[in-house]
A = this chain, B = another copy of it.
Amino acid sequence: MNDIQVAVAPRSRKGGGRSARHSQRQGGAGRNAHLIAPYITRGVPPYDLLTEESLLKIEAGADLILAEIGIEFRDDAEAVRLFRAAGGDVTQLSPTTWNIKFEPGMIRNILKTAPETFIQHARNPANNVQIGGDATVFAPSYGSPFVMDLDRGRRYGTIEDFQNFVKLAQSSPWLHHSGGTICEPTDIPVNKRHLDMIYSHIKYSDRAFLGSITAPERAEDSIEMCRVLFGAEFVDQNCVVIGNFNTTSPLVLDGVTTAGIRAYAAAGQGSIHLPFLLGGAVSPVTMAGAVAQCLAESMVSCALTQLVRPGAPAILASFLVSMSMRTGSPTFGTPEPALGSLVMGQLARRLKLPLRCAGNFSTSKLPDGQAMQQSMMSMMSAVQSGANYILHSAGFLDGLLSMSYEKFMLDTDVCGALHAYLKGFEVNEETLGFDALAEGGPGAHMFGAQHTLRHYQSAYWDSGLNDDQPWESWDEQGGEDSMVRANRKWKQVLRAYEAPPLDQATDAALQDFIARKKASMDDAWY
Contacts and interface: CB of A to CB of B under 8 A. Distances in A.
A181 B5 CA distance: 13
Contacts of A274: 3
Nearest to A374: B466
Interface in A448-480: 451-452, 455-457, 459-463, 465-471, 474-475, 479
A271 interface: no
A442 B252 contact: yes
B14 A327 contact: yes
B401 A3 contact: no
B436 A4 contact: no
B410 A373 contact: yes
B327 A285 contact: no
Contacts of A45: 48-49
Interface in A216-270: 244-246, 248-252, 254, 256-257
When all copies of this chain in the complex are counted, the total is 2
Interface in A134-151: 142-146
A58 to B, nearest CB: 6
A365 B250 contact: no
Contacts of A380: 376-377, 380
Quick one: which of A68, A214, A414 has the most chain B CB within 10 A? A414
Given A47-B384, A375-B373, A61 B469 contact: no
Interface in A11-31: 11, 13-17, 19-20, 23, 28-29
Contacts of A36: none
Which size bracket describes the interface of A in this complex? 35 or more
A364 interface: yes
Interface stretch (A301-309, A317-325, A503-511): A317-325
A289 B322 contact: no
A253 to B, nearest CB: 9
Given A11-B328, A69-B437, A288-B432, 9 more contacts: A6-B248, A283-B436, A284-B433, A285-B436, A285-B456, A288-B431, A325-B457, A331-B460, A363-B467
20 contacts: A1-B214, A2-B181, A3-B319, A14-B327, A57-B427, A154-B475, A248-B443, A284-B432, A284-B452, A287-B425, A288-B433, A289-B436, A326-B462, A331-B468, A338-B421, A340-B425, A365-B474, A365-B479, A369-B371, A373-B376
